[in-house]
Amino acid sequence: MLIDAHIHLDQYKDGEIPSLLEEVETLIAVSMQLSSCQRTLDIAKTYPKVKAAFGFHPEQPLPSQIEENALFDWIRSHKDDMVAVGEVGLPYYLRQEQALDVRPYEALLERFIVLAKELKKPIVLHAVYEDATIVCDLLEKHRHRQAHFHWFKGDVTVVKRMIQQGYFISITPDALYEEEIQQLIQVYPIELMMVETDGPWPFEGPFTNKRTSPWMMHSTLEVIASIKGLSIQEAAQIITQNTKTFYQL
């Protein structure tokens, strides 16, 4: 039984959730904004397998100052109901679509990093390509090393830096058909690796037109095991233990 290290469980219908949970030992359910945090908390209280993370997804317009303060107050008041701060980060894909001043997003992310350190929680990061360098700068500035970069993509320089700092990454089902992800698996230590679905985000290749579900992680694991020269069982044991240790499950 694997652990899905990153899924938007609140975006599934209520009736879909029990069948998703049958496929895993545990799920790390991340949040998009305050209403998402509240639904994720409700799901986690209903299903013990679900472990909640609270944050604000960066690929959307920024909250107002009142909304931001309300979110931070809510997270602090529910710190015992969460295993991590997340999902948080920088709006890489949004900037590809429109001109955007990234500095307010950086300020919000820095506030989340400070919060994670204050609460002694890991932080779940949406930070790809050049954004990962900015995030590494902020993590190092605040000396917060419990960082999980989900569905990460980046150049050799930032990958080396992340490995040196002991930051974790998680691999998605697109490892089956994306050479970029396969190359990342090759260079990144399996001791710093988890698996995820980022559901309900859809995948291509053999997963085209299929509902994103934790069972897909078994195929991801086969790719990781093959690249790392391990049996599937060995890779599963390492990755599952990594996730348990990182999230203190």
Output the domain CATH number for residue 171: 3.20.20.140
What is the domain range of residue 169?
3-247
What is this structure's pTM?
Answer: 0.97
- Domains of the chain: total: 1
pLDDT digits (tens, 9 = 90+) for 151-193: 999 999 999 999 999 999 999 999 999 999 999 999 999 999 9
Q: Tell me what pLDDT residue 1 has.
A: 80
pLDDT over 90 (residue 33) = yes
pLDDT over 90 (residue 141) = yes
pLDDT digits (tens, 9 = 90+) for 74-122: 999 999 999 999 999 999 999 999 999 999 999 999 999 999 999 999 9
| Axis-axis angle for helices 232-247, 217-228 (nearest 10) | 110
